[in-house]
Amino acid sequence: MPRITFIEHDGTAHQVDAANGQSLMRAAVDNGVPGIDADCGGECACATCHVYVEPDWLARTGQRSEMEQSMLGFAAVAQDNSRLSCQITVTDALDGLVVRMPDGQH
Ligand code: FES
Protein backbone atom coordinates (compact mmCIF):
# COMPACT_ATOMS: atom_id res chain seq x y z
CA MET A 1 0.00 0.00 0.00
CA PRO A 2 1.37 3.41 -0.90
CA ARG A 3 2.34 5.36 2.19
CA ILE A 4 1.47 9.05 2.13
CA THR A 5 2.60 11.74 4.56
CA PHE A 6 0.29 14.68 5.30
CA ILE A 7 1.91 17.54 7.19
CA GLU A 8 -0.23 20.09 9.02
CA HIS A 9 0.68 23.75 8.92
CA ASP A 10 2.17 23.45 12.42
CA GLY A 11 4.47 20.66 11.24
CA THR A 12 2.56 17.73 12.70
CA ALA A 13 3.00 14.80 10.33
CA HIS A 14 0.49 12.02 9.70
CA GLN A 15 1.55 8.93 7.78
CA VAL A 16 -1.25 6.90 6.26
CA ASP A 17 -1.38 3.74 4.20
CA ALA A 18 -3.60 4.53 1.23
CA ALA A 19 -5.31 2.09 -1.10
CA ASN A 20 -4.62 2.16 -4.81
CA GLY A 21 -7.48 3.77 -6.68
CA GLN A 22 -8.79 5.91 -3.86
CA SER A 23 -8.30 9.64 -3.81
CA LEU A 24 -5.68 11.28 -1.66
CA MET A 25 -8.53 13.12 0.08
CA ARG A 26 -10.30 9.84 0.91
CA ALA A 27 -7.08 8.39 2.33
CA ALA A 28 -6.78 11.42 4.61
CA VAL A 29 -10.41 11.44 5.73
CA ASP A 30 -10.54 7.68 6.35
CA ASN A 31 -7.45 7.97 8.52
CA GLY A 32 -8.64 10.98 10.52
CA VAL A 33 -6.07 13.43 9.20
CA PRO A 34 -7.10 16.89 10.41
CA GLY A 35 -7.25 19.75 7.93
CA ILE A 36 -8.90 17.87 5.05
CA ASP A 37 -12.58 18.65 5.52
CA ALA A 38 -13.70 17.62 2.03
CA ASP A 39 -17.04 19.41 2.38
CA CYS A 40 -18.19 18.54 -1.14
CA GLY A 41 -17.33 14.86 -0.83
CA GLY A 42 -14.76 14.89 -3.60
CA GLU A 43 -16.72 16.68 -6.31
CA CYS A 44 -14.06 19.32 -6.94
CA ALA A 45 -16.44 21.98 -5.64
CA CYS A 46 -15.19 23.19 -2.26
CA ALA A 47 -11.37 23.38 -2.08
CA THR A 48 -11.39 22.27 1.57
CA CYS A 49 -9.12 19.40 0.57
CA HIS A 50 -6.38 21.76 -0.64
CA VAL A 51 -2.79 20.54 -0.24
CA TYR A 52 0.65 21.67 -1.32
CA VAL A 53 2.50 18.88 -3.10
CA GLU A 54 6.20 18.71 -2.31
CA PRO A 55 7.97 19.96 -5.46
CA ASP A 56 9.80 16.68 -6.12
CA TRP A 57 6.44 14.93 -6.46
CA LEU A 58 4.65 17.33 -8.79
CA ALA A 59 5.42 15.36 -11.95
CA ARG A 60 3.97 12.18 -10.46
CA THR A 61 0.78 13.72 -9.09
CA GLY A 62 -0.18 14.93 -12.57
CA GLN A 63 -1.81 18.05 -13.95
CA ARG A 64 -4.75 19.99 -12.57
CA SER A 65 -7.96 19.69 -14.55
CA GLU A 66 -9.62 22.86 -15.79
CA MET A 67 -12.26 22.58 -13.07
CA GLU A 68 -9.65 22.07 -10.36
CA GLN A 69 -7.69 25.02 -11.69
CA SER A 70 -10.83 27.11 -11.50
CA MET A 71 -11.59 26.05 -7.90
CA LEU A 72 -8.04 26.82 -6.82
CA GLY A 73 -8.52 30.27 -8.30
CA PHE A 74 -10.82 30.98 -5.36
CA ALA A 75 -8.26 29.85 -2.77
CA ALA A 76 -6.39 32.85 -1.44
CA VAL A 77 -3.47 30.71 -0.37
CA ALA A 78 -3.03 28.83 -3.65
CA GLN A 79 0.54 28.33 -4.84
CA ASP A 80 2.15 26.77 -7.93
CA ASN A 81 2.22 23.40 -6.14
CA SER A 82 -1.39 23.57 -4.96
CA ARG A 83 -3.70 20.64 -5.69
CA LEU A 84 -7.10 19.50 -4.56
CA SER A 85 -6.42 16.17 -2.92
CA CYS A 86 -9.75 14.73 -4.09
CA GLN A 87 -8.43 15.04 -7.64
CA ILE A 88 -5.30 12.95 -7.07
CA THR A 89 -5.69 9.19 -7.42
CA VAL A 90 -3.43 7.04 -5.28
CA THR A 91 -1.20 4.59 -7.16
CA ASP A 92 1.98 2.72 -6.26
CA ALA A 93 3.87 5.53 -8.00
CA LEU A 94 2.84 7.82 -5.12
CA ASP A 95 4.39 5.66 -2.40
CA GLY A 96 6.33 8.09 -0.21
CA LEU A 97 4.41 11.18 -1.36
CA VAL A 98 4.53 14.17 1.00
CA VAL A 99 1.88 16.90 0.97
CA ARG A 100 1.36 19.87 3.28
CA MET A 101 -1.82 21.57 4.38
CA PRO A 102 -2.20 25.35 4.07
CA ASP A 103 -2.52 27.56 7.12
CA GLY A 104 -6.18 27.86 7.98
CA GLN A 105 -6.98 24.18 7.36
CA HIS A 106 -6.99 22.49 10.74
S1 FES B 1 -13.33 17.56 -1.50
FE2 FES B 1 -14.26 19.34 -2.26
S3 FES B 1 -12.86 20.04 -3.75
FE4 FES B 1 -11.95 18.26 -2.97
Beta strands per DSSP E along the chain: 3-7, 13-17, 50-53, 82-84, 98-100
Instruction: Kindly list the structural domains of the chain, giving each domain's residue range(s) and its CATH number in brackets, ordered by start.
Output: 3-100 (3.10.20.30)
Distances (CA, A) of 35 to 43, 59, 79, 97: 17, 24, 17, 17
- Alpha carbons 38 and 58: distance in angstroms, whole number: 21
Residue 105 pLDDT: 82
pLDDT in tens, 23-74: 999 999 999 999 999 999 999 999 999 999 999 999 999 999 999 999 999 8
Top mutation candidate among 25, 30, 37 for ligand 1, by most atoms within 8 Å of CB:
25
Give the residue whose CA is nearest to atom 3 of ligand 1. Answer: 44
pLDDT at residue 104 is higher than 90: no
pTM, two decimals, is: 0.95
Exposed/middle/buried for 88, CB within 10 Å: 0-12, 13-18, 19+? buried
